[in-house]
Structure 1
Amino acid sequence: MKQQILFSFSLFLLTFSSFYYPINTASTAPASSPKLAPAPKSPSPASSKPLVPTLPDTSDSTTPDDITKILKKAKTFAILTRLLKTTEIVDNLNSQLITAKSGGLTIFAPDDSAFSNLKPGFLNSLNENKKIELLQFHILPQFVDSNNFDSLSNPVETVAGKDPLKLPFNVESLGNSVNISTGVVNATVTGVVYQDNKLAIYRLDKVLLPLDFFPSKVHASAPVAAKAPKADDHKDKSSSAEDNEDGETTQGQKKSGAVSFITIEGTRTMLVSLGVAFVAVAMI
């Protein structure tokens, strides 16, 4: 009887403890591993290539068929547009863009303020050929992206030609700055007017003046080559020295000969005089 009572009491305690104190299964479950926070992305290194700032959109989305339309839309290239039309260069440029399957063109466009900084009357002093050369000097026969100026090799060839003594065109890109020097002018590219896969037009703060427009500067910049001495010069100098020596010797010989002759003649005269004197004495 006592065993039955103890068994019933134990069962009661077990049921009571299970009801009021449930087993914490969460404490027995394996702890989940903490989630790792994603590593912060390292910032991409800044590009070392120069980037010319892009001006407000002045172009159409399609390939242009007239460069002057782009310049007119920019509204700051009236003088350049007039020169391109009067010299008829723009017709050739447009036809090249239409027919070219590769390559392209790069135009450095001085704005109106750049032309206004030229010496008064400078443009009017140029004949037709000089005006054409001036415009050609602002055009590269290749497409240069705004990020690829550092890929150019100096001196850069322009449509006007490639002559480091008469038409030097050197591009220097440093950081976000692109400068052009011609031996007369140092200009800066101030922005992108237009760019697609064949044509790039960049605005300049100065007009690029070719060095051959100023002959005095061309001669000053040209290296002076030392003249090699001619072989005949040594011969002439040695010959003249020999001639001088021979002349002095001959003159000396003539002088000494003259002295000898005078001495001999004087001796003969003295003998003749003595002979005449002896004859006279004998006759007396």
Structure 2
Amino acid sequence: MASSHFVLLAILSSALLVVHSPAGTLAQTPAAPAPSPPGPLNFTGILAKAGQYTTFIHLLTVETQVAKQIDNQLNTSTEGLTVFAPTDNAFNNLKAGTLNSLSTEKQVQLLLFHVLPKYYSLQSLVTVSNPVRTQANYGLNFTGLANTNQVNVSTGLVETLVNNALYQQSPLAVYQVDKVLLPPELFEAPAPAGSPPPTSTASSGGSNSTTTAKSPTSSQNTDSGANGLKFWYGSVVGGVAICMGMLIS
């Protein structure tokens, strides 16, 4: 019986030593690891995740290299970027052949016209000083009501609502627009060069007056010649008559 008590006490002592030993402390739940720093932003990945931006992505990545330019600026600029992303329906609503009529250089300008070289929240766009310079160096104008997210953007040819934030965290803001932003510098028809000025009424009247004035002069000259011939003929006949009279007498 005494030996049983001795064994029990030994077991309890061993258990107490394990609980209070350093090994017991190591057995506790480890602390959660610190969050890793965020990786570089993937602009086209944001568009692809949102959906309905297939045409915009194709222009950014296949037709031009603007997507790479945007990614580089996002990871090197301290000002950030703001991008207005037209939906597929926005491109479908363009006049047929609009994109195909543009050279690669003009397509780049069109895409950069949708990018502001600074991060803007929707509220800051309401109070911004117009026009706002784009990456294409053409200006955009913004209007809206303070303390709201209702913002309109105008190019001079197109006006639409900035109505959905796909991503809005510095250094990048991406907003949906339902129309393609067309700059007048690329799409406004210039006046035809080398066209002759219209003929004025006064000029036509002057031409007619000159013609009318010449006609009487020509008629007068003709009449004067005829009268002179008649006078010469009369003088000759009269002279012959006088000579005949003198001979007879």
Structure whose CA Rg is larger:
1
Report the TM-score, using the length of structure 2 for normalisation.
Answer: 0.62
Question: Is the aligned partner of 1:84 residue 2:60?
Answer: yes
Q: Counterpart amino acid of 2:113? A: F
For residue 245 of structure 2, what is the aligned residue in structure 1? 278
Contact 2:122 2:149 in 1 (8 A): no
Contact 2:83 2:115 in 1 (8 A): yes
Q: How does 1:28-47 map to 2 (within 5 A)?
A: none
For residue 68 of structure 1, what is the aligned residue in structure 2? 44
**1:96 to partner: Cα distance:** 1.9
Residue in structure 1 matching 2:169, options 196, 205, 208: 196
Q: How does 1:187-226 map to 2 (within 5 A)?
A: 187-216=160-189, 219=191
RMSD of aligned residue pairs (Cα, Å): 3.9
What are the superposed Cα offsets for residues 235-281 of structure 1, whole Å, 9 maximum, x if unpaired? x99x9899879967965874575366335414422331222321442
Contact 1:68 1:90 in 2 (8 A): yes
Q: 1:62 to 1:193 in 2, by over 3 A?
A: farther
For residue 177 of structure 1, what is the aligned residue in structure 2? 150
**1:135 to partner: Cα distance:** 0.9
What are the superposed Cα offsets for residues 5-49 of structure 1, whole Å, 9 maximum, x if unpaired? xxxxxxxxxxxxxxxxxxxxxxxxxxxxxxxxxxxxxxxxxxxxx
Corresponding residue pairs, total: 201
Q: 1:63 to 1:204 in 2, by over 3 A?
A: farther
Q: 1:267 to 1:129 in 2, by over 3 A?
A: same
Task: Give secondary structure in 1 for the equivalent of 2:57.
Answer: helix
Q: Counterpart amino acid of 2:108? A: I
Report the TM-score, using the length of structure 1 for normalisation.
Answer: 0.55
Residue in structure 1 matching 2:71, options 73, 84, 94: 94
Counterpart-to-counterpart distance in 2, 1:120 and 1:266: 86
Q: 1:105 to 1:246 in 2, by over 3 A?
A: same
Q: Counterpart amino acid of 1:270? A: V
Counterpart-to-counterpart distance in 1, 2:183 and 2:123: 26
Contact 1:104 1:141 in 2 (8 A): yes
Counterpart-to-counterpart distance in 2, 1:201 and 1:95: 16
Contact 2:160 2:179 in 1 (8 A): yes
For residue 228 of structure 2, what is the aligned residue in structure 1? 261
Residue in structure 2 matching 1:161, options 137, 143, 166: 137
For residue 35 of structure 1, what is the aligned residue in structure 2? none
Identity of aligned residues (%): 33
Q: Considering Cα pairs closer than 8 Å and 6+ residues apart, tell me whether 1 or 2 has the greater RCO.
A: 1
Question: Is the aligned partner of 1:146 residue 2:122?
Answer: yes
Unaligned 5+ segments in structure 2 are 1-36
Counterpart-to-counterpart distance in 2, 1:123 and 1:241: 52
Unaligned 5+ segments in structure 1 are 1-60, 163-167, 221-226, 228-233
Counterpart-to-counterpart distance in 1, 2:223 and 2:90: 84
